[in-house]
């Protein structure tokens, strides 16, 4: 199976990078900084959350799921996913921990644009289904 270029849409993916600190914020949601040795340093709460790397552009074939013909595709009930992404096998390094932006804009939670706001992503990956020539990713919409 070949994927036609004209059927591909622009998207972004972000890979999970591990734990990142949570910063204290003011009433407006801005990070609170203190000055140490002449440098602004964000105030940490002592807690952490899962962090994601800067999103990377890619083009893929995405289709919204639906229809009775797909009711039990690969043993997964249609109610468990909202879209299907088809990619040439090995084209992008995403897995079940990655995030996808399709129509939304990527936003960051810090002023240096280093920590991705994962709530701005459109999809998380529910399941990866590789075949000989392509990989099928079942996507679950992130409620905003």
Per-residue model confidence as pLDDT tens for the chain (144 residues) = 466 777 788 999 999 998 988 889 899 888 899 999 999 888 999 999 898 999 999 999 998 865 445 545 555 555 677 898 999 888 899 999 999 999 999 998 776 777 788 899 999 999 998 988 889 999 999 987
pTM over 0.85: no
Does domain 5-20+50-141 fall into CATH 2.40.10?
Answer: yes
Q: Are 125 and 111 in contact (CB under 8 A)?
A: no
């Amino acid at each position: 199976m070949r994927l036609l270029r004209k059927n591909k849409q622009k998207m972004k993916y972000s890979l999970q990078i591990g734990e990142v600190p949570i910063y204290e914020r003011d009433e407006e949601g801005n990070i609170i900084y203190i000055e140490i040795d002449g440098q602004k340093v964000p105030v940490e709460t002592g807690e952490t959350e899962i962090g994601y790397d800067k999103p990377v552009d890619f083009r893929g074939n995405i289709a919204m799921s639906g229809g009775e013909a797909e009711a039990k595709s690969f043993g997964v009930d249609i109610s468990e996913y909202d879209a299907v992404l088809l990619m040439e096998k090995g084209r992008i390094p995403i897995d079940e921990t990655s995030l996808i932006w399709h129509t939304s804009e990527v936003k960051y939670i810090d002023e240096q644009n280093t920590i991705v706001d994962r709530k701005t992503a459109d999809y998380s990956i529910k399941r990866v289904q590789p075949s000989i020539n392509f990989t099928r990713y079942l996507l679950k919409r992130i409620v905003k």
